[in-house]
Amino acid sequence: MHLKTTLLSILLTTMLQANSQNLSLVWETDIVMAKPESAIFDRENQLIYVSNVNGNYCTKDGNGFISKVGLDGKIVELKWIGGLNSPQGLALDGNKLFVADVDEVVEINITTGEILKQLKIDNAIFLNDAVADKSGNVFISDCKGNKIYRLANDSVSVWCDDPLLKGANGLLCVEPSLLVLNMGNATIYSVNKTTRSLTEFCSGIENCDGIVSDGRNGFFVSGAWQGEIWHLDSSGVKSLALDLGPEKVIAADIEFIPEENLLLVPTLNKTLRAYRWGEQ
């Protein structure tokens, strides 16, 4: 009886582990990047932009850069934009790419590759993620300053500094709200864009870093340092989709391409990985 119970337990555990692994590796770039932190897909040009810290976080050393990568994982241009400091989150609005870089937002014309503006934010400490909404507003999280800023009409101001914000990291616009990953307490909040009040959406994802839509009604969230990718349904119920911990691979600020069913994972080492999503 004990043997049967043990075998049943092993079988159930194996089945659960198999069902939790819904992401399969498709490609990995050459080992040439330098602490890749964030990725974003440019649908118009069919390119992926990747921010490379290339040094210590928050250090103004001018070593940071942005790479261009093809949908096949081939490096198109390793150092497409250089001269940045510690580039983190990326946001796209039309032909403009916005980069969160320590204490400023860098605006780039993706057609010409020209840096158009470098908007300094007074009192910002560690700008982390960035996201644009349909109205052209760009929201930027300050992970150490515990604030969310908004860039509108070339002006940056504090948009939310609720006391609940502790290690504000990944951002995602889900109208009429903004989802915010709170790394400090492993909690995801939904911020009403009108009242700016916070409501808990999901909890229990340690080191929550990046959040993206799955193209349907759910989301992917990365647990950075332990290398976890979680899938959330529309109510915030979570399930583990991928565990890269055994490989000692970090999962930083992710991106998802619905039409390709492809999840992009910057590893904060020297590569960008792409995983195919397969539903249970």
Report CA 101 to chain centroid distance, whole Å: 15
| Residue 240 vs residues 21, 104, 154, 168, 227: alpha-carbon distances, Å | 7, 34, 40, 22, 11
Q: Look up the CATH number of the domain holding residue 99.
A: 2.120.10.30
pTM above 0.85, yes or no: yes
Residue 26 has pLDDT above 60, yes or no: yes
* pLDDT tier, 279 (very low <50, low <70, confident <90, very high otherwise): low
Measured distance between the N- and C-terminal CA atoms of the chain, rounded to whole angstroms? 32
For residue range 125-160, list pLDDT tens digits in order. Answer: 999 999 999 999 999 999 999 999 999 999 999 999
* pLDDT tier, 66 (very low <50, low <70, confident <90, very high otherwise): very high
Q: Which domain holds residue 217?
A: 2-277
232 with 202: CB under 8 angstroms?
Answer: yes
Domain count, the chain: 1
212 with 189: CB under 8 angstroms?
Answer: no
Spatial CA neighbour of 32 closest among 276, 273, 271, 278: 271
Q: Give me the mean pLDDT over the 209-222 stretch.
A: 97
Spatial CA neighbour of 40 closest among 68, 13, 17: 68
Spatial CA neighbour of 226 closest among 246, 202, 199, 256: 246
For residue range 248-264, list pLDDT tens digits in order. Answer: 999 999 999 999 999 99
